[in-house]
Structure 1
Amino acid sequence: MIRTAGLALGVVLLGATAHAEDGHNVYGTFLTQAKTSTVTIEDCGDDSPCGRVSWIDPNAMEPGDTPETALTKAGDPVLGLLMLQGFDKKKKDWRGGTIYDPENDKTYASRLKRLGDGRLQVKGCIGPICQTQIWEEAPVALQASGSAAN
């Protein structure tokens, strides 16, 4: 009985480790590297990830702005903004997508990969030159602060 329970526990732990190291599991709510906003990544409806701004730190706003009134340079609301889309599943990660930067109104080629420790590696690229950010899973309070689907 003990041997069987130990084997079952080992299989469960092995499965959990494999799942945690799956670079394709990019879904969830993440605190951006600057820690001033969260992005919630969900299925776009075609088995690929889409990410929307789901929370903005009120202390990071321009004077007179609120998270609900903040606009991109193009005049679109930042809260609920679709900023990650168009990804293709590759062997170890998601590639071929785009990331939109609302601060400069530019869109970049992008790659996403879930790291073994649960953080998300986000790359924005112009040609062969990429900038990498590491996003952490958002605290539960921020995950519940708003829906990404606006």
Structure 2
Amino acid sequence: MVRSSTKALAFISGVIIALFFAISQGLADPQASSVLGVWKTDGDRSAVVVQPCDDTISDQKICGNIIWTESGKRLGALILSDFLLDDDGLQDGWIHDPRSGKSYRAQLHLKDENSLEVKGCWLVFCQSQVWTRASSLSFDPADMWKKSGG
């Protein structure tokens, strides 16, 4: 009898802990589990804001614009376009090289809340980078984007 009440108490405690964890995850910053936000590119040479292509998320298309670079060049340049939101990542989008003007098929995959894998392909040749969520920038890059006319 004591053994079964101990098991029942352990089970109920486990359920309560699991519910607490699930609720706390649901109340966390929604951008923490989303590709939306500001990302530092590979090598920390630039920052890209990833957001809905238009000012609504109704069509679910996601774009990204450069909002900071070491050199201050190419601010506002469109670098990601037409990505569609889905549960496994964003598929069938485009990545644009602002230096060459060329565009490539691309995929985004959120590896964890602070790591975004960006993969661009031309024919069968692909290249990937891992971008880092820009929570540690010493300035608000969104202000730079606004100042540049974005």
Shared fold, TM over 0.5: yes
Residue of structure 2 aligned with 1:32, choices 41, 46, 54? 41
Task: Please give the root-mean-square deviation of Cα atoms over the aligned residues, in Å.
Answer: 2.9
Once the two structures are superposed, residues 87-119 of structure 1 have per-residue CA deviations (whole angstroms, 9 ceiling, x without a partner) of: 123451111111111222211111111112421
* Greater Rg by CA: 2
Q: Distance in 2 between the 1:82 and 1:36 partners?
A: 16
TM-score (norm 2): 0.70
Q: Cα deviation per residue 1:59-106 (whole Å; 9 max; x = unaligned)? A: xx3xxxxx1xx3xxxxxxx10111100112345111111111122221
Bigger proportion of residues as helix? 2
Structure 2: distance between partners of 1:21 and 1:79: 25
* Structure 2 gap ranges (5+): 1-12
CA distance in 2, matches of 1:115, 1:36: 21
Say whether residues 1:120 and 2:116 are aligned partners.
Answer: yes
**1:20 CA displacement:** 8.5
User: Which residue number corresponds to residue 146 of structure 1?
Assistant: 144
Instruction: Name the counterpart of 2:91.
Output: 95
CA distance in 1, matches of 2:89, 2:27: 18
Matched length:
128
Letter in 1 for 2:138: A
Note the residue ranges of structure 1 that are not aligned, 5 or more in a row. 62-66, 71-77
Percent identical among aligned pairs is 26
Alignment map for 1:1-150 (pairs within 5 Å)? 6=17, 8-13=19-24, 15=26, 25-45=34-54, 46-57=59-70, 61=71, 67=72, 70=73, 78-138=74-134, 139-144=136-141, 145-147=143-145, 150=150
